[in-house]
C-alpha cells in the first residue's frame, strides 16, 4: 500500500520561528546521523520516517558524511523520499552539511568554495533533489578565510541549490563574524547547530545570547549526550549499549560511579514530572525560547515515540532547574 500521511499530523506538534526568518521548524527534528546508513535495515528507516512525518516532524537533518558509510544516509533518504514521500516534498525541510572529511585529496574537507559547492552537488544527486532547504557549513576551517566560506554559502543560495544557510560547531566569536559577513552578502544566517545537553553547556557562555540577540535560530544536536541521558545506564553499562562498544561515541570511562549516581538522581526528578529521563533532557533544552528545535535520533520507531512525549511538559519550576544544577554539580 502506498504511504498516505496522517491527516491530523500538524495538530500535536509545536512549530517555532527560526530566529527572525520566515522559516518555522518543528520543536522536534529528526537527525539522520546514525541509523540510516547502508548497515541499517531500509524498512526500519522507512518506518521511523513515516512515524516522524505522521507526528508533525517536518525537518530531516542530514550531512554529506552521515552513514555509515559516508553518503549512505543521504542515499537511503533519497530512496525513501522517492518511494514513500512523493507529493510531500513541499511539506518538508531537508538540510545537509559539508565541512568534515568526505573524500580523499585537498578538495574533500573543511571550508573552501571548491569543497562546499562540489559536496552539495553530490548530496543533491544522492537524495534526488533540486535543492535543500538548509545548507550548513559543518565546522570552522582554521585555514580558509571565513569570507570565502561564507561567500560559498551565499553563492549556493543564489544558484538555487539551498533556500537558507546555517553554521554548525562555531564558537560565539566565530559565529558572530560569520553572521556579519553573511548579512553583508545579503544571505543571512538563519540557524546555528551546536552540541548542547545538560552535560555539555558551552553555548550558555555567550553563543545562545548571541543567537537570541541577532535573531538566529538554534537547533542543538546530541541532546541526550550520546544516549547517556536515558534510563539505559541507570544500573551501569548494558552489553548492547553504545558505551559497551569501543567505537561508539559514548565511552565507558564517561560513565563513572558519580555520573551514574547523577543520572539516577535526575531520573527521580524526571519521574516526579511524569517523564522519563530522556524526555526531561529534551524538555530542558526546549524550555528556552531561543531554541528553535532539538535534533533527536532513533534506531527504532519506539524511541522516536518516546522522544515526542517530551512536548507534553516543557515547563520547569525554578526549584526544578536549581535541582538539576545541584545534581550536575555534585
Confidence label for 202 from pLDDT (cuts 50, 70 and 90) = very high
Position 247 pLDDT exceeds 60: no
Confidence label for 317 from pLDDT (cuts 50, 70 and 90) = very high
Structural domain contains residue 23: yes
**Which pTM does this prediction carry?**
0.95
The whole-number pLDDT of residue 243 equals 60
Residue pLDDT, tens place only, 24-76: 999 999 999 989 999 899 999 999 999 999 999 999 999 999 999 999 999 99
Computed over every residue of the chain, the mean pLDDT equals 95
The whole-number pLDDT of residue 249 equals 60
Structural domain contains residue 45: yes
The whole-number pLDDT of residue 255 equals 83
The whole-number pLDDT of residue 252 equals 65
Structural domain contains residue 37: yes
Structural domain contains residue 255: no
Residue pLDDT, tens place only, 205-220: 999 999 999 999 999 9
Q: What is the CATH number of the domain that holds 86?
A: 3.20.20.100
Domain total of the chain: 1
Structural domain contains residue 216: yes
The whole-number pLDDT of residue 246 equals 53
**Percent of the residues in the chain that have a pLDDT greater than 90, as a whole number:** 90
Domain containing 211 equals 15-227+285-313
Structural domain contains residue 70: yes
Confidence label for 241 from pLDDT (cuts 50, 70 and 90) = low
The whole-number pLDDT of residue 70 equals 96
Confidence label for 235 from pLDDT (cuts 50, 70 and 90) = confident
Residue pLDDT, tens place only, 72-93: 999 999 999 999 999 999 999 9
Structural domain contains residue 249: no
Nearest to 37 by CA among 73, 9, 78: 73
- Mean pLDDT over 298-310 rounds to 97
**Percent of the residues in the chain that have a pLDDT greater than 70, as a whole number:** 95
Structural domain contains residue 264: no
Residue pLDDT, tens place only, 130-166: 999 999 999 999 999 999 999 999 999 999 999 999 9
Amino acid at each position: 500500500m502506498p504511504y498516505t500521511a496522517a491527516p491530523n499530523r500538524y495538530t500535536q506538534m509545536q512549530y517555532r520561528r527560526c530566529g527572525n526568518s520566515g522559516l518555522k521548524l518543528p520543536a522536534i527534528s529528526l537527525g539522520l546521523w546514525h541509523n540510516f546508513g547502508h548497515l541499517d535495515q531500509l524498512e526500519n528507516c522507512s518506518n521511523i520516517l513515516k512515524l516522524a512525518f505522521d507526528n508533525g516532524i517536518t525537518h530531516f537533518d542530514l550531512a554529506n558524511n552521515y552513514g555509515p558509510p559516508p553518503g549512505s544516509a543521504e542515499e537511503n533518504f533519497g530512496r525513501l523520499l522517492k518511494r514513500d514521500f512523493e507529493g510531500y516534498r513541499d511539506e518538508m525541510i531537508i538540510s545537509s552539511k559539508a565541512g568534515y572529511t568526505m573524500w580523499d585529496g585537498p578538495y574533500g574537507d573543511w571550508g573552501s568554495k571548491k569543497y562546499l559547492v562540489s559536496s552539495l552537488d553530490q548530496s543533491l544527486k544522492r537524495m534526488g533533489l533540486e535543492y535543500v532547504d538548509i545548507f550548513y557549513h559543518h565546522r570552522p576551517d582554521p585555514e580558509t578565510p571565513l569570507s570565502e566560506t561564507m561567500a560559498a554559502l551565499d553563492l549556493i543560495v543564489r544558484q538555487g541549490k539551498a533556500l537558507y544557510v546555517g553554521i554548525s560547531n562555531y564558537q560565539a566569536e566565530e559565529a558572530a563574524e560569520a553572521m556579519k559577513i553573511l548579512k553583508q552578502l545579503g544571505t543571512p544566517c538563519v540557524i546555528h547547530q551546536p552540541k548542547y545537553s545538560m552535560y555539555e553547556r558551552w553555548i550558555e557562555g555567550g553563543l545562545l545570547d548571541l543567537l537570541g540577540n541577532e535573531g538566529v535560530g538554534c537547533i542543538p544536536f546530541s541532546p541526550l549526550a550520546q544516549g547517556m541521558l536515558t534510563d539505559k545506564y541507570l544500573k551501569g553499562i548494558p552489553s548492547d549499549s553504545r558505551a559497551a562498544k569501543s567505537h561508539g561515541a559514548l565511552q565507558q570511562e564517561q560513565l563513572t560511579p558519580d555520573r551514574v549516581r547523577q543520572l539516577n538522581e535526575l531520573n527521580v526528578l524526571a519521574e516526579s514530572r511524569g517523564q522519563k529521563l530522556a524526555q526531561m533532557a529534551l524538555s530542558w533544552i526546549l524550555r528556552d525560547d531561543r531554541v528553535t528545535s532539538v535534533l533527536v535520533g532513533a534506531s527504532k520507531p519506539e524511541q522516536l515515540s518516546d522522544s515526542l512525549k517530551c512536548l507534553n511538559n516543557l515547563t520547569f519550576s525554578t526549584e526544578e532547574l536549581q535541582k538539576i544544577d545541584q545534581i550536575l554539580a555534585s
